[in-house]
Amino acid sequence: MLYQQGDVLIRLVDAIPEGLTERKDGILAEGEATGHAHRILGDGVKLFESPLGDVYMDVPRRIEVVHEEHKKISLPPGKYHVKIVQEYDHFAEEFRRAAIRNVVD
């Protein structure tokens, strides 16, 4: 199962890798330009971060992911891997965060 909120992809996984650092801030991803963040609303969620910056979360009960510029999404219990959508700029020969804009109803 795959969920998306703006440039954040949230994928259901079988397990969370061991040896990750637990995070307590409830933030899945921060915006580069606006300072807004994709945040968790719900109790009991554990967030973990890999040395490369990948975020994983263990969700014991249904939660919501909110962001100031996007519709909220609801996630059922499970283990998830959170990634940022990237695009490749062939002229600059580098990857960068994709510029995705959703309209809030």
Task: List the Cα angle 63/9/51 in 5-degree steps.
Answer: 95
CB of 65 closer than 8 Å to CB of 28: yes
**Structure token digits, residue 46:** 């554990």
pLDDT tens, the chain, 105 aa long = 888 777 788 999 999 999 999 988 888 876 665 666 777 887 899 999 999 888 999 999 998 888 767 678 899 999 999 987 754 455 655 444 544 444 433
Q: How far apart are CA 13 and CA 21, in angstroms?
A: 18
Q: What is the pTM of this model?
A: 0.74
